[in-house]
Amino acid sequence: GKRLDGKTIVITGASSGIGRSTALEFARTSPKNLKLVLTARRIDKVKELAEDIKKEVGDGVKVHPVKLDVSKADEIRDFVQSLPKEFQDIDVLVNNAGMVKGVDKAGDIKEEDVNVMFDTNVTGLINMTQAVLKVMKKRGESGQGDIINIGSIAGREPYPGGSIYCASKAAVRSFTDAMRKELIATRIRIIVIDPGQVETEFSLVRFGGDKDKADAVYKGVTALTGDDIAETIVFCAGRPENVVIADMLVFPNHQAAATVMHRRS
């Protein structure tokens, strides 16, 4: 509602899953006066989302789709300056873009899988954060804005077959917590949300497009949806300025740890 009115919000990984839901949820929550910068590699999907938002809430939400690969440092370097002027004063950054590749165990993990997970989940998130912090630090007396990072239960509880992904999400947590301390003299809110199991394209990406393997992950359980996590993201951004939801862990009801899951047979 009101607290989000007039804000400029950047979402990475808006083409699918949690990121897509988050764009829609922000638009629904503040339909009259909001600016959304929606980014991903699959720009066609982002443009479709822009149309969907327009259909649902009308013209009160201005959407600017950007093709952006967060794993490419040079694409991020020019990102803020290449936005139209009216979208440059970023209030909220949702660092959501992320991915997992495979279930290989240490010793057998492909070098390219290690690199793509770290380049996307860690270096990409750090580079986006630094680019947008330049804007946020200029706002108000000491700096103001929200950085909302999507971590994972995997960053708290490493599991076999996920060593690199888990390490990448632990790095997100560590970076986030240090940064919150570094920025303590500002009004910049540093937030991390750690979801448990969410049914998105996440597992499809993990298994290289193998739908049967992806579906098996969610068999016999009711996973969270992208919309469930979107609600928590918009909740955090919509708190009064002095309230920081610093850290959130969100499970579906059947899950109590990375690998403790109740499945109906």
Q: Which residues of the shown chain bind ligand 8X3 in the complex (CB under 6 A)?
A: 152-154, 162, 165, 197, 258
Q: Minimum Å distance from CB 16 to ligand NDP?
A: 4
Q: How far is the CB of 153 from ligand 8X3 (least distance, A)?
A: 5
Binding-site partner at residue 162 among ligand 8X3, ligand NDP, none, CB < 5 to 8 Å by type: ligand 8X3
DSSP string, the chain: -GGGTT-EEEEESTTSHHHHHHHHHHHHHS-SSEEEEEEES-HHHHHHHHHHHHHHHGGGEEEEEEE--TT-HHHHHTTTTTS-GGG-S--EEEE--------PPTTS--HHHHHHHIIIIIIIHHHHHHHHHHHHTTSTTT-EEEEEEE--GGGTS--TT-HHHHHHHHHHHHHHHHHHHHTTTSEEEEEEEEE--B-SSHHHHHTTT-HHHHHHHTTTS--B-HHHHHHHHHHHHTS-TT----EEEE--TTEEETTEE----
183 φ, ψ (degrees, to nearest 5): -100, 20
Identify which range of 7-15, 29-37, 48-56, 136-144 contacts ligand NDP by CB under 6 A. Answer: 7-15
Amino acid symbol at 119: D
Q: What residue type is 28 in one-letter code?
A: R
Question: Binding of ligand NDP at residue 13 (CB under 6 A)?
Answer: yes
By rule CB under 6 A, what string of x and - marks binding of each residue 56-95 to ligand NDP? ------------xxxx------------------------
State yes or no: is 169 an active-site residue. yes
Q: Does 207 bind ligand NDP (CB under 6 A)?
A: no
* Residue 162 engages ligand NDP in binding (rule: CB under 6 A): no
First-last CA distance in the chain: 42
- Residue of 30, 123, 186, 197 interacting with ligand NDP (CB under 6 A): 197
Q: Is 22 in the site for ligand NDP (CB under 6 A)?
A: no
Q: Which of 7, 35, 101, 165 is catalytic?
A: 165
User: What's the closest the beta carbon of residue 115 comes to ligand 8X3, in angstroms?
Assistant: 19
Return the residue of 201, 227, 228, 231 that touches ligand NDP, per CB under 6 A. 201
* Closest residue to ligand 8X3 in the complex (CB): 152
Query: Which entry of 7, 35, 101, 169 is annotated as an active-site residue?
Result: 169
Whose Cβ is closer to ligand 8X3: residue 50's or residue 258's?
A: 258
Which is closer to ligand 8X3, CB of 152 or CB of 186? 152
State the catalytic residues: 165, 169
